[in-house]
Amino acid sequence: MTKIGIIICARYRDCGGGKCFRALRERVGAFSRYPASEPVEIVGYTSCGGCPGGNIELVPEEFRKNGATVIHLATGFIVGYPPCPDIRRFKAFIETAFGLPVVVGTHPIPQKYIDVHERLPFWKEGGMAELIEPLLRESDEIKTAYN
């Protein structure tokens, strides 16, 4: 069984996880990689701890002890203003230090964010385009449904 730990951007630390848990149930966004027939379990959900993300150093170990097989960095990392500047370092650190694969994203990117970000010249700089490409493949209908 896939066991997932979710880390969210602390700017949204009070978020109730509505879109993330809905997306997991609907197997859309970054969760489309898990077939609907495959059981999954959320084994942890927390924030990065706030800039510069001190909890990234600690919480993956707690997730791993609870059986995590994969970690998702929530979609808020890439749709906030500004997008998290350290997301690539976080992904590399977690994968190197804890041996857990890191998936960028949780729920689909809401279309209303894409509409604004696409007009910002810096959104896809520094490797971000590569990170978000799988999420951008989502259908417009679904992205709009997550506005």
- Is there binding between residue 57 and ligand SF4 (CB under 6 A)? no
Dihedral angle sign, alpha carbons of residues 132, 135, 139, 142: negative
Taking CB under 6 A as the criterion, the residue among 52, 101, 126, 127 binding ligand SF4 is 52
| SS3 at position 75 | coil
Nearest CB to ligand SF4, comparing residues 2 and 49? 49
Nearest CB to ligand SF4, comparing residues 53 and 108? 53
Nearest CB to ligand SF4, comparing residues 33 and 89? 89
Residue 142 contacts by C-beta under 8 Å, 6 or more apart in sequence? 28, 29, 108
Residue with tokens 């449904």: 145
CB of 123 to ligand SF4, least distance (A): 14
Length of the chain (residues):
147
Total number of residues binding ligand SF4 (CB under 6 A)?
11
Cα separation, 63 vs 6, in Å, equals: 9
Taking CB under 6 A as the criterion, the residue among 68, 78, 84, 128 binding ligand SF4 is 84
CB of 10 to ligand SF4, least distance (A): 4
